[in-house]
Structure 1
Amino acid sequence: MADRAASGRRASWSQARRADGLALRNAIPDRLLPVLVAAMAVLAAMALAGATGARVLSARWTTGAASIVTVQVPRPDDPALSAPIAAQPAPLSRGDAVLAALADMPGASRVHRLDRTELEALLSPWLGHGGGFALALPAVIELHFDRAGAGDADALAARLNARAPDTLVERNSLWSDRLGDLARSLQTCAILAVLIVVAVAAATIAATTRAGLGARRQAIELIHSLGATDGYIAGRFARRTAVLAFTGGLIGSLLALPLLVLLSHLAAPFAGPPAMATPPDASGWAGLLDALPLPLAVTLLSLAPAAALIGWLTTQVTVRTWLRRLP
């Protein structure tokens, strides 16, 4: 009998909780809030994609630029100052002497001298595409190191000038620093955009919750006077808002997914080897998700839970603050 009575009391309490007069479906409509959250989720996805892309491109560009040293050898066909070796009765040219000195550089992974065609392609934006430049072009040599910052530019310049005076050694650290600053500024802007989206979403949810509280004020005051706690009332509103925010975040994620795949495909040639630029095999939503880089996929999957958490926390604070003001 005792068990039956306890079971009856639990059933009565559960029924009372479902029919406590709050009518949250009328207080917080299930159409407007998900649409607004979905729009915010799309904006947040685009901003986070920009931050992720800026970080990836910065890591690739700065590392590549910082690990390359450019060597310019004026008058590359003139004889070098180095003495001829036994197997080479004639002295080496300045360009060949510099190449020989760079061949055994510690930490160097590749030494490449630009040929005439490559030099003309570099100069064509300024001197035209006609070729046959009347200028005496220097030899331009690219020295690739295994890692960024390897090698001492000053020591290298002194070593090369001993064989070919007036040789210029230029480390691309200036460009890598500028690219790093640009990427950091883009990331900062993206993070600020995300924070603004979160603030707007929280303000929208708070305004919707306050409107629902105002619409059900009499019912809330009644059940509050009958003993309903602030936590119970705030929890009912928070669960309703969290479900709607999760739905909106899920819709926004699905809408943003094709856009992120397209942006990832466009940025692939700048973020990796040419093989990464091939179109992804995106068959269905799962295929689209697989076509995204892992950070973007994780970001996209976290939008709906993040929206639900923001909705739950915002509603809890809003309802509890509103209830404290009741007489």
Structure 2
Amino acid sequence: MARRRRYSRDPLGLRRALSGLLLPGLVAAMALLAALALAGAQGAAALAERWQRGAAAAVTVQIPDADATRLQRAVAALRAMPEVASAQAMEPERLTALLRPWLGDAPAISVPGVIELRLRNARTDPVLIGDRLADQVPGALVEAHGLWVQRLAALARSLQAIALGVLVLVAAVAAAVVAVGTRAGLAARRDAIEVLHGLGARDGDIAGRFARRLGVLAATGAVVGTVVAVPALALLADLAGPWVGADGRLDSLAGLPWAGLLTLPPVAFLVGWGTAQFTVRRWLRRLP
């Protein structure tokens, strides 16, 4: 009786024909790669956003032939502007240390005074601030970092595009793996399928059984791959914490792309289900 009940639930014997660990293992590897791509895309976006935000809001002001009075007058003028969040003259010792690799300990040229400036809004045009400052302190020169901001934005877009391409490639490879597994199952149960098909079984019923079985196997592999990816991604996030402003393991775990990671098993199930449906229906149409 128990054998008949199991047979009625699985008349094609798919649990035996599709019971290996190869398909879930391959899908697990694909899920691991997809998780790494998701984390890479999110990490690149966060890093670029932080650098862009800091670079866009940071402005350097140079004051040629700056004595203490001239430098303080420039700082006071900048602090009086509503667009300026902070203005601080750079200490001569720090400026000398920054220039030492290029000019040595005793530069032969006159070094201008430098003021570090941060804007309240990164969209503020630093040229306008420079023009207003030059009216009060002749010769003042404002240097923004617009070029580096543009390069960082282009780098972020390129990395995200690469990650998207990796995800598409992983999905395509996973679909190919499922298709190969489906054909192997069809070849193993060809006689039983032909008998059921000849007795009037609908193509949708046969394809549905294959699709459910392969969808479950693909989802199982994706769960394993995602679980394996989490500690690796947490370690990478912990190492990258100082660069993106995170601190501690809790921040590392919270910073993972959980929304994307949790969607990997359902997406793997849909890929397996859809690929099996297409492959089996196409194979059945060729039967006499």
TM-score range, shorter chain: over 0.9
Offset of 1:189 from its aligned partner? 0.6
What is the CA deviation profile of residues 140-171 of structure 1, one whole-angstrom value per residue up to 9, with x for unaligned ones?
11211122112x33322222222332221112
Q: Which residue of 2 aligns with 1:319?
A: 280
Amino acid at match of 1:250: V
Match of 1:105 in 2: 81
Aligned to 1:171: 144
Deviation string, structure 1 residues 252-274 (Cα, Å, up to 9, x no partner): 111111110011112211212xx
The structure number with the bigger radius of gyration is 1
Moved more, 315-324 or 294-303: 294-303
1:133 pairs with 103, 107, 113, which one? 107
In the other structure, the counterpart of 1:94 is 70
- Paired residues for 1:29-44 under 5 Å: 29-44=19-34
Map of 1:121 onto structure 2: 97
Please tell me whether residue 216 in structure 1 is matched to residue 189 in structure 2: yes
CA distance in 2, matches of 1:134, 1:260: 50
Describe the shift of the 1:15–1:262 C-alpha distance in structure 2 as closer, same or farther (beyond 3 A): closer
Does 1:180 pair with 2:170? no
Instruction: State the AA in 1 paired with 2:275.
Output: T
1:25 paired to 2:15: yes
For residues 124 and 35 of structure 1, what CA distance do their matches in structure 2 show? 56
TM-score where L is the length of structure 2? 0.92
The residue identity in structure 2 corresponding to 1:111 is A
Return closer, same or farther for 1:201/1:270 CA change in 2, 3 Å cut-off.
same
Q: What is the aligned partner in structure 1 of residue 217 from structure 2?
A: 244
Q: What residue number does 1:189 align with?
A: 162
Structure 2 distance, partners of 1:19, 1:181, is 54
Residue 295 to residue 256, structure 1, CA distance change in 2 (3 Å) = closer
Q: Could you tell me how far apart the structure 1 residues matched to 2:65 and 2:255 are?
A: 50
Q: After TM superposition, which residue ranges in structure 1, 4 or more long, deviate above 4 angstroms?
A: 13-16
- In the alignment, the residues of structure 1 paired with residue 42 and residue 166 of structure 2 have an alpha-carbon distance, to the nearest angstrom, of 13
Aligned partners of 1:302, 1:28: CA distance in 2, in Å? 24
Distance 1:184 1:238, change over 3 A: same
CA contact (8 A) 1:94 1:163 kept: no
Contact 2:237 2:255 in 1 (8 A): no
Tell me the amino acid that sits aligned with residue 139 of structure 1: G
In the other structure, the counterpart of 1:231 is: 204
Percent of counterpart pairs with the same letter?
50
Listed as ranges, the gaps of 5+ residues in structure 2 are: none
In the alignment, residue 161 of structure 1 is paired with which amino acid? A
Match of 2:123 in 1: 149
Distance 1:185 1:121 in 2: 35
The 1:307/1:256 distance shift into structure 2, 3 A limit, reads same
CA distance in 2, matches of 1:69, 1:99: 13
Q: Give the corresponding residue for 1:9.
A: none
CA distance in 2, matches of 1:126, 1:154: 28
One-letter amino acid matched to 1:229 = R
Q: Work out whether residues 60 and 142 of structure 2, in 8 Å CA contact, stay in contact via their aligned partners in 1.
A: yes
Q: How many residues align?
A: 286
1:93-141: per-residue Cα shift (whole Å, max 9, x none)? 321221111011112211122112221232233335xx34343211111
Contact residue 43 and residue 197 of structure 1 kept, 8 A: yes
- Kindly indicate whether residue 268 of structure 2 is the aligned counterpart of residue 307 of structure 1: yes
Which SS does the other structure have where 1:277 is aligned?
coil
Question: Residue 301 of structure 1: CA displacement?
Answer: 2.1
- Compute the displacement of 1:14 (Å): 7.0
Q: 2:234 touches 2:256 (CA, 8 Å); kept in 1?
A: no
> Could you say what secondary structure the match of 1:25 adopts?
helix
- Per the alignment, residue 88 of structure 1 pairs with none
User: Which whole-Å CA distance do the structure 2 matches of 1:121 and 1:240 have between them?
Assistant: 66
* Partner SS, residue 161 of structure 2: helix
Task: Verify the 8 A CA contact 2:63 2:139 in the aligned structure 1.
Answer: yes
Corresponding residue of 1:73: 63
Structure 1: gaps spanning 5 or more residues? 1-12, 78-91, 282-289
Counterpart-to-counterpart distance in 2, 1:114 and 1:244? 62
Supply the distance in 1 between the matched residues of 2:228 and 2:198 (Cα, whole angstroms).
Answer: 45
- In structure 2, relative to structure 1, the CA distance for the partners of 1:309 and 1:124 (3 Å cut) is farther
Deviation, 1:27, is 2.3
Give the alignment of 1:44-83 within 5 angstroms: 44-77=34-67
Q: Which amino acid aligns with 1:318?
A: T
Deviations 1:36-73 (A, max 9, x none): 00111111111111111111112211121111221111
